[in-house]
Structures are given as structure tokens and as C-alpha cells.
Amino acid sequence: MQGQQLGLTPPMGWNSWNTFTWDINERLIREAADILASEGYKEAGYEYIVIDDCWSLKERAEDGSLVADPDKFPGGMKALADYIHSKGLKFGMYSCVGTHTCAGYPGSFEHEFQDAALLAEWGVDLLKYDYCFKPRHVSGELLYKRMSLALKNCGRDILFSACNWGEDNVYHWIRESGAHMYRSTVDIQDSWDSIKSLTLSQLDKASSTGAFCHNDLDMLVVGMYGTSNSGFIGAAIGGCNDIEYKTHFSLWSLMGSPLMMGNDIRKASRAAKDILMNKSLIAINQDIEGRGAYRIKPEPQWFHTDEVFMLVKVLTDGDLAIGFFNLSDGQKEISLQFWDLGLPYASGKALSLYDCWEHKELGVFKERYAPVVAAHDCVVVRAKLV
């Protein structure tokens, strides 16, 4: 058992929901695993293949067990888990705190220990646990504690991915519950407005993430370009462009969110792959100390709205990851005074900057750095004290 290491850094992988919602099957999941293993994603750090909602039959078996839908998964979950494991990957599944899942399949309420045992038997490595149809008389806090207890004692390491959309003051109790990651936002949509609003909702939550319990801003929409099969999630919305996906990925990386891809990775564009496999950004996201990113407002402060800001993440080796974000609709100069990082000019120290998207050294700077950033774009640097 991996035990103490489970969930140390933000989990990375792929989840079926954003693009495929209900339209999932064994073949799709196997193909996703093949791509993760053969196209460099695994080496980049992506390891979980997660089946979201809609995988089971609508009724439990007579003995109360969940049953995988035999039309969608004729080979059964154990064989699928074995296949995913044979690729050196991990297998994630989905259930719900309530009597039903959000799409109306059986939830785990009052079946927690039985379901955890079945997941362990199948070889599951991650459980995403949703919040629909929760009976009113029991608190969500208690139900997450309950499933955590069941998972931690099921005989297998199963990473616990809570998903209560930031409700019921989740920040105040989720770490204690035993969850390794927790959704803090409503469902993402494949649109710039959605990316922007999820980001702005979590900017003041820098201290609510960290090793073993990561604030999850929801799955990535990078590379979807409006291809979700759900009108609610994306198709009707039309998707984003590559600049916006780059900014989305930079925000999630710096803010320490789990990185769960949600596009059809069998058909990923070159641009989407380059974004999803940016090694410098992934290294920032996976930094072992798992510190949240603090926000700095650019000078002059009265001039900028909340849509223009810098995020700074203190890294284990002493470097700083700094993102200059322009979520507004016009080009902006974003001025960082090194004083605001704790670096006064009088110290005689400077910062050597490496551009994580241009993949090049920018040089050594004293006192300030002020890139001009296009609308919806960002600049991310790794800064070394010299």
C-alpha cells in the first residue's frame, strides 16, 4: 500500500464527464488509457483514468451491490481495472453521498461500507464522491467522514475525491474528513466566462489548499473547443481558444488544483497537447510543499479591476512561480514590484526569470518586472533569487 503518499500532490488524470457525460463505455475508457500511456501523458504525470457518473444500472442487485451496466461495460469493472493497471495507470470511479447520483443512478447513502468493499475488489484507486440527493436529516460533513472511514479501511489505497461544489462551508471541515481533494466550485463549462468566474471565486482561498487535501477547481476544459455532448456543459456554449485554454491551465496549475483533463484525448490538437503537457507548469502544480498561491494586485491599484492580478507560489527550492493574469478584455501592462514579494531593492538581490510558456530565460531583473499581457492571456515565470 502506498499509504502515506496518497494525495501528497494534486492528483492528475483524465475524467469522462466534461466531454462524454452519459455516453461512456468500456471501449472509450480503454482507448483513453491507451492514449495516456502511449502519447506522453503518463510521463508528464497524468495517472488516473476516471469514469464519472452513469456507469451503473439504475437498480442495485438483490444483495445490495452496485452493478456495472452490462451494455456499457460488458467485460465488467475488474477486467477494466486490470487493463488500466497493465498500462501503469490508476483507475477512478464515481459515486454519491446521496440516495442517487446527480444523473439519477444509485448513490452510496447507507451503502458506504459495502460500496467501498466492492470498489476495492474491483481494483479501484480513486473515488469521486458527489453531493446530489443528500437526505436532509444527515449533514454532508458526516457523510464525507463516513465514506472516508470506509475507504481508508477497505484494504486498498483509494484516493478520496470529494465533490460538494463548495457548499456547507466545506473549507472548514473537509481536510479533517480525510478527503484528498475537494471540489470548491459549481461545474465548469467549456467557456471563458466559466473559467473566469471559477477562478475569481477561489482567489482568496489560498490557504484552503495543500498537501493531501487539494482545492479542486473542477476538471480541465483545455482542448474541448465546444465538443461536449451536453448542451448544458459545452456544445451550446462554443468552447474557448488556445490562449484562453493556456490561461486556464496556468491558473489551475498555480492555484494547486488537481489536473484532470476533460477533453477527448483521442483527438487532442497539437496546441492542446502542448498546453496539457507543459513541464514547467506541471512542476509548479506538483511542487512538493503544495503551498497555495497568494495574489498581488498590480500598481497602480486604483487603475486595475479584480480581473488583472498576479499569483505567486512559493516553491520548495526557493524559487517563486509568478503568473501575470489578464482576464479582462483589453491588453494590460501588469507591473510587479519585487518589494511585494518580500524583496526590497536594498537587499542587493535580483530575480532571474524563466518564461514557462516561451520556454526561455528572460534575463535578470532588479526592483520590478512589467510584462504587457494581451486580453485573456497570461505570462508565467519561474523566478530565481540571484
Catalytic site positions = 130, 187
Q: Which is nearer to ligand GLA, 221 or 334 (CB)?
A: 221
Q: Which is nearer to ligand GLA, 183 or 304 (CB)?
A: 183
Residue type, 189: Q
Phi-psi region of 155 (alpha: psi -120 to 50; beta: other; left: phi over 0): left
Binding string to ligand GLA for residues 133 to 172, with x set by CB under 6 A, is what?
A: ------------------------------x-x-------
CB atoms inside a 10 Å sphere around CB 184: 26
Instruction: Give whole-number Cα distances, 46 to 13, 30, 258, 265, 297, in Å.
Output: 4, 15, 10, 12, 33
Tell me which of 26, 47, 52, 112 binds ligand GLA, using CB under 6 A. 52
φ, ψ (nearest 5 deg) of residue 206: -55, -30
Tell me which of 47, 112, 130, 264 binds ligand GLA, using CB under 6 A. 130
- Are 174 and 162 a contacting pair, CB within 8 Å? yes
Cis ω for the linkage preceding 300 (within 30 of 0): yes
- Are 209 and 255 a contacting pair, CB within 8 Å? yes
Tell me which of 102, 150, 254, 310 binds ligand GLA, using CB under 6 A. 102
Using CB under 6 A as the binding rule, the residues of this chain from 326 to 385 that contact ligand GLA are: none
Q: Which is nearer to ligand GLA, 189 or 285 (CB)?
A: 189
User: Does residue number 14 form part of the binding site for ligand GLA (CB under 6 A)?
Assistant: no
User: Does residue number 198 form part of the binding site for ligand GLA (CB under 6 A)?
Assistant: no
User: Does residue number 105 form part of the binding site for ligand GLA (CB under 6 A)?
Assistant: no
Minimum CB separation of residue 54 from ligand GLA in Å reads 7
User: Does residue number 243 form part of the binding site for ligand GLA (CB under 6 A)?
Assistant: no
Reduced to 3 states (helix: H, G, I; strand: E, B; else coil), residue 321 is strand
Grid cell of 227 as nine digits = 465538443
- Are 132 and 99 a contacting pair, CB within 8 Å? no
Using CB under 6 A as the binding rule, the residues of this chain from 278 to 317 that contact ligand GLA are: none
CA angle 55, 56, 58 (to 5 degrees): 130
Minimum CB separation of residue 18 from ligand GLA in Å reads 8
Q: Select the span of 80-88, 99-107, 305-313, 315-323 touching ligand GLA (CB under 6 A).
A: 99-107
Distance CA 161, CA 181 (A): 5
Q: Which is nearer to ligand GLA, 187 or 333 (CB)?
A: 187
Reduced to 3 states (helix: H, G, I; strand: E, B; else coil), residue 348 is coil
| Residue ranges in contact with ligand GLA by CB under 6 A | 17, 52-53, 101-103, 130, 163, 165, 187
